[in-house]
């Protein structure tokens, strides 16, 4: 490589705006070593760049891109991001757009940031050189232990640290389980309605996918036994169904576990927000009732701490630990160590329990605020089937089936609600809105937000606005 090429690389990057005025560039010696050329070659290129005013040398403080350069903005040449799957695009937009009533986001205003910062510092200072290698594939052992302790006490499980596999979220947990245990044509059952990202994932990775309806008692296990007795996997959210928010009844739990034992099927329990219950009646994890190790439990810290940390976990049946380890070593990358260490401190020093207690009280209040605001602004429009727990509510349209249009309308006013009917895969649907309440700070705020869409809502549903 000659000096001309180096010169061209710099001018191109600077004019394209990728290398910005004021940014530091490598020293002559370092760049020469990096490119494998003589120092003289780089020196010649830098001399011209400095001479023409692209770079400025500041002696011992290094060379930078001329801070006084004015780079005219190029007409946008950014590659266009086109998503062909329109329903996926809608979901992602709703998930990522700012606004009221967002779904499944922990209360951001009440997170103990100071404590988290303190523990982060502590975890960083405790990092040892040998911890810069690949972290263990199944997770940081002290975190696996802390999670097992928590699950045994809070969710009634009876698991050992060795059964915990740390993953980076629901999708990675489900994919890892299916990659470990399923063979080509195994029948897999998902709930209808069911978690939209679950549907999308399963449609893509499972060839033999079927749905079982959910009613007021949760997954319809009679229907499962009648139509899909031969299934190998059932993926379900028994403590707090997503999205209907109902709990799987005790008789159905027993029926489901019995079937799994008899047919050697696996029940994958998605306990995504089971920590949040507001009455005295704590809904137990299905895994806590599973004496034959047929339930594979999937949990997450996305709801209890923060989604951006990307830490979740699987509780593996004891006999399968080796299989999971093998698959994990092939298809997974281990999770970053530092967040796991911070989380370990958060759990083992008792902050997690305190945080959950505080959030339960807060969410219960916020939930009531939203119910009450809905009744104030839209009296008689929705039917409520008061369920307990979780981080969202479902309100059903008393009349009509226009939940998609209604949600679109509300979204245009920054109310990020989901239409219930779009969570169904089969024809038999219910119509309503799925509404998150965790970040609503007062009833007045909820009323003001809901009122924004009042006139248009009345017009859409052809009801007389007062």
Ligand X SMILES: Cc1ncc(COP(=O)(O)O)c(C=O)c1O
- To which H or E segment does residue 64 belong? strand 63-65
Choice between 227 and 310, CB closer to ligand X: 310
Q: How far is the CB of 258 from ligand X (least distance, A)?
A: 25
Pick 169 or 238: Cβ nearer ligand X = 169
Tokens at residue 170, please?
A: 């629901």
Using the minimum distance from each CB to ligand X, give the nearer residue, 159 or 235: 235
Q: Which is nearer to ligand X, 63 or 237 (CB)?
A: 237
Give dist(CA 28, CA 46) in Å, integer: 8
For residue 226, the tally of other CB atoms under 10 A from its CB is 10
| CA–CA gap between residue 416 and residue 409 (Å, rounded) | 10
The nearest distance, CB 314 to ligand X, in angstroms, is 11
Q: How far is the CB of 94 from ligand X (least distance, A)?
A: 12
- 129 phi, psi to nearest 5 deg: -55, -40
| Distance between CA atoms of residues 193 and 243, nearest Å | 7
Nearest distance in Å: CB 168, ligand X:
8
Measured CA to CA, the distance from residue 241 to residue 197 in angstroms comes to 14
Supply the minimum distance, in Å, between the C-beta of residue 152 and ligand X: 21
Q: How far apart are CA 45 and CA 26, in angstroms?
A: 13
Q: To the nearest whole angstrom, how small is the minimum distance from the Cβ of residue 188 to ligand X?
A: 16
Residue 132: CB minimum distance to ligand X, A:
27
Residue 192, SS3 per DSSP: strand
Q: Name which of 377 and 432 has its Cβ closer to ligand X.
A: 432
CA distance 54 to 14: 8
If the CB atoms of residues 95 and 429 are measured against ligand X, the closer one turns out to be 95
Min separation Cβ 300 and ligand X, Å: 3
CA 256 vs CA 38, 152, 223, 412: distances in Å? 72, 22, 11, 42
Contacts of 384 (CB under 8 A, 6+ apart): 371, 393, 395, 396
Q: How far is the CB of 241 from ligand X (least distance, A)?
A: 9
> Shortest gap between Cβ of 102 and ligand X (angstroms)?
11
Q: Which is nearer to ligand X, 46 or 170 (CB)?
A: 170
- Nearest CB to ligand X, comparing residues 238 and 317: 238
- 3-class DSSP assignment, residue 245: coil
Minimum distance of ligand X from residue 377's CB (angstroms): 26
With CB atoms as reference, the residue minimizing the distance to ligand X is 169
Q: Give the angle subtended at the CA of 272 by the CAs of 271 and 278, to the nearest 5°.
A: 85
Distance CA 151, CA 352 (A): 12
What are the b/e assignments for 181-192, b being 16+ CB within 10 Å? bbeeebbbbbbb
**Cβ nearer to ligand X, comparing 172 with 344:** 172
Q: How far apart are the first and last CA of the chain?
A: 76
Q: What is the largest CA-CA distance in the chain?
A: 82
Q: In the complex with ligand X, which residue's Cβ is closer, 305 or 397?
A: 305
Q: What angle do CA 245, 403, 211 make, to 5 degrees?
A: 50
Q: Distance (Å, rounded) from C-alpha 259 to C-alpha 368?
A: 38
**Helix (H/G/I), strand (E/B), else coil: 187:** strand
Contact between 65 and 14 (Cβ < 8 Å): yes
CB closer to ligand X out of 300 and 439: 300
Residue ranges binding ligand X (CB under 6 A): 104, 169-171, 195, 237, 242, 270, 272, 300, 302, 307, 312
């Amino acid at each position: 490589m000659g000096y001309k090429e180096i010169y061209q690389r710099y001018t191109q990057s600077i004019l394209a705006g990728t290398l910005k005025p004021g940014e530091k560039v490598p020293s002559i010696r370092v760049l020469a070593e990096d490119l494998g050329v003589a120092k003289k070659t780089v020196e010649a290129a830098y001399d011209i760049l400095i001479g023409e005013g692209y770079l400025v040398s500041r002696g011992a403080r290094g060379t930078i891109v001329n801070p006084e350069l004015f780079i005219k903005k190029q007409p946008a040449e950014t590659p266009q991001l086109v998503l062909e799957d329109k329903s996926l695009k809608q979901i992602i937009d709703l998930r990522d757009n700012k606004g009221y009533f967002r779904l499944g986001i922990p209360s951001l205003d009440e997170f103990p940031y100071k404590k988290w910062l303190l523990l982060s510092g502590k975890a960083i200072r405790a990092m040892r050189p040998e911890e810069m290698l690949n972290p263990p594939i199944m997770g940081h052992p002290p975190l696996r232990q802390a999670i097992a302790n928590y699950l045994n006490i809070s969710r009634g499980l009876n698991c050992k640290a060795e059964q915990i596999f740390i993953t980076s979220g629901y999708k990675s947990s489900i994919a890892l389980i299916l990659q470990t245990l399923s063979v080509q044509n195994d029948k897999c059952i998902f709930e209808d309605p069911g978690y939209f990202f679950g549907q999308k994932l399963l449609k893509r990775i499972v060839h033999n996918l079927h749905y079982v309806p959910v009613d007021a008692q949760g997954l319809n296990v009679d229907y499962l036994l009648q139509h899909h007795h031969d299934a190998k996997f059932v993926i379900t959210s028994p403590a707090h169904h997503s999205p209907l928010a109902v709990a799987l009844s005790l008789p159905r739990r027993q029926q489901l576990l019995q079937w799994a034992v008899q047919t050697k099927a696996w029940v994958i329990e998605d306990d995504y927000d089971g920590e949040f219950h507001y009455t005295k009646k704590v809904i137990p994890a299905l895994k806590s009732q599973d004496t034959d190790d047929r339930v594979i439990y999937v949990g997450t810290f996305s709801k209890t701490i923060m989604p951006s940390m990307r830490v979740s976990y699987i509780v593996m049946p004891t006999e399968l630990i080796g299989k999971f380890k093998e698959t994990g070593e092939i298809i997974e990358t281990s999770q970053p160590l530092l967040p796991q260490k911070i989380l370990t401190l958060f759990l083992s020093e008792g902050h997690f329990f305190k945080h959950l207690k505080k959030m339960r009280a807060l969410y219960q209040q916020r939930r009531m605020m939203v119910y009450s605001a809905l009744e104030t602004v839209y009296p008689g429009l929705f039917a409520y089937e008061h369920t307990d727990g979780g981080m969202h509510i479902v309100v059903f349209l008393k009349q009509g089936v226009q939940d998609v249009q209604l949600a679109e309308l509300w979204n245009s006013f920054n109310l990020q609600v989901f239409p219930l009917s779009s969570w169904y895969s089969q024809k038999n649907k219910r119509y309503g809105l799925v509404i998150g309440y965790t970040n609503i700070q007062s009833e007045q705020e909820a009323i003001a937000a809901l009122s924004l869409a009042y006139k248009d809502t009345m017009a859409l549903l052809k009801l007389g606005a007062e």
